[in-house]
Amino acid sequence: MTQDLPEGVVVADFGIKGVHLAYELLEGYDTVIIVDAAPCGGKPGDLYLIEPKLEEIAESPLVQAASEGESALIDAHGLEPDAIFGMLKALGGNVGRALVVGCEPESIEDGLGLSATVEAAVEPTVRRLVDIIHRVQHRQEMELSVLAAKDTRKEGQA
C-alpha cells in the first residue's frame, strides 16, 4: 500500500494508545486521517467518512478543564477521536483538517482481533483510504457520508 501513497504521507499504527497519537499530532500535520471502529447503526463492515468539527472540540469539558489548570480524568487506552483532538487542543496543538474513516463493528465488546465481517472490509478500506489521501492532496471534495453501497444509518444519526 505505501507504494501508492504520495510523498509526505505518514502511516502509523497507534492501536489503543490515543495519548501517543495526541502527542504525535503536536508535531504538526495539515490533515490527519484516523481509522477506527464507528458504531453508527449500520451493518458490520459498513464504512463511514466523518469530518469532526474541530472548532466544537475546543469547547469540550476536557479542553476547558485543561485550560483552567485542572486535571481531567481520562482513559489513555480508550480515547475516542474527539477526545484525542480535545487533548491535542489542551496541549496547545492543532491540525488543519481531520477525517475519521470508521468501520461499523460487529461487536463493541472488548477483545482482540477483528470479526470475519470486519476483516473482509479491510482491503476495501485500504483502497478507499488511498483514494481519500490522493483527493486530500489534490484538494478535491469528498462526499462525507457512508462509504458503503447504501446509507444504512437511521434517520437522525450523524
For residues 51 and 99, the answer to whether their CB atoms sit within 8 Å is yes
Query: Domain containing 32 — which CATH number?
Result: 3.40.50.1450
Asked whether residue 155 is domain-assigned, the answer is no
**Burial category of 158 from C-beta neighbours within 10 Å (exposed 0-12, middle 13-18, buried 19 and up):** exposed
Cell reading at 43: 451493518
Domain residues for the domain of 45 are: 2-137
Residue 155 has pLDDT above 60, yes or no: no
Q: Could you read off the pLDDT of 32-79 as tens digits, one per residue?
A: 998 888 888 999 999 888 888 877 765 555 556 555 655 454 444 456
pLDDT band at 154 (very low <50, low <70, confident <90, very high): very low
Asked whether residue 44 is domain-assigned, the answer is yes
How many domains does the chain fold into? Answer: 1
pLDDT band at 147 (very low <50, low <70, confident <90, very high): very low
Asked whether residue 143 is domain-assigned, the answer is no
